[in-house]
Amino acid sequence: MTEREVTAITGPCESSAEDEVAGVRGKVLTCRGAEAFSAATFTFSNGRLAAKGQVGLGGDQARKGSMTKEKYDRLRTGMSLKEALAVAGRCEKNSDTDLAGSSATGYTCTAADGLGSASLTFADGKLVAKAQAGLE
C-alpha cells in the first residue's frame, strides 16, 4: 500500500522519521489511538508499506489476557501460529512485516494481572522467537 492508501483508512498521521540510505527512502508514520498510550506505526520503503505495528489499540480486553509462565514454557519454536495461540490464549497482534518474500508477525500475550507478558514472533507462520517479562 502507499502512504495515501494507508491514511485514507487511518486518517491523518504524523511523520515520525524520514531518511534515505543507499538509495532506499524510508518513512515512518505514527497514528495516535483514541486511548492514552495507544498508537499505530507504519513503515514505508520507497513509498510502499513494508511494516506496521501497534500498541494498545485492542483496548482493555487485550491488556487482560491469560498468559502464565506455565503456558509460556509450553511454547516451542517451530509451532504453527494456530498451535501457539491455542496454548497462549488471547494475544494481541502488534506487528506485521513483509520483506524480500518473507513475512513476520509479532504478538503480545498479557497476563491476567495486566503486568506480565510474553512476546511471540512468527516468521512465515512458525514461532521463531519468544520472550517474557513478569510472568509467574
**pLDDT tens digits for range 59-116:** 655 567 889 999 999 999 999 999 999 999 988 888 888 877 788 999 999 898 878 8
Domain identity same for 86 and 119: yes
Rounded Cα gap, residues 14 and 88, in angstroms? 34
Say which residue the cell 519468544 belongs to.
130
Residue 38 C-alpha from the chain's centroid: 13
Total of domains in the chain: 2
Domain identity same for 67 and 124: yes
Q: What is the pLDDT of residues 32-57, one digit of tens each?
A: 888 777 888 899 999 999 888 877 77
Domain identity same for 67 and 113: yes
Domain identity same for 90 and 125: yes
Domain identity same for 8 and 44: yes
- Is the whole model's pTM more than 0.75, yes or no? no
Domain identity same for 79 and 134: yes
Instruction: Give the Cβ contact number of residue 106 at 10 Å.
Output: 18
- Residue 16: which domain range? 1-57
| Final residue in a domain of this structure, among 14, 31, 57 | 57
Domain identity same for 49 and 79: no
Rounded Cα gap, residues 47 and 92, in angstroms? 27
Domain identity same for 31 and 71: no
| Final residue in a domain of this structure, among 9, 38, 57 | 57
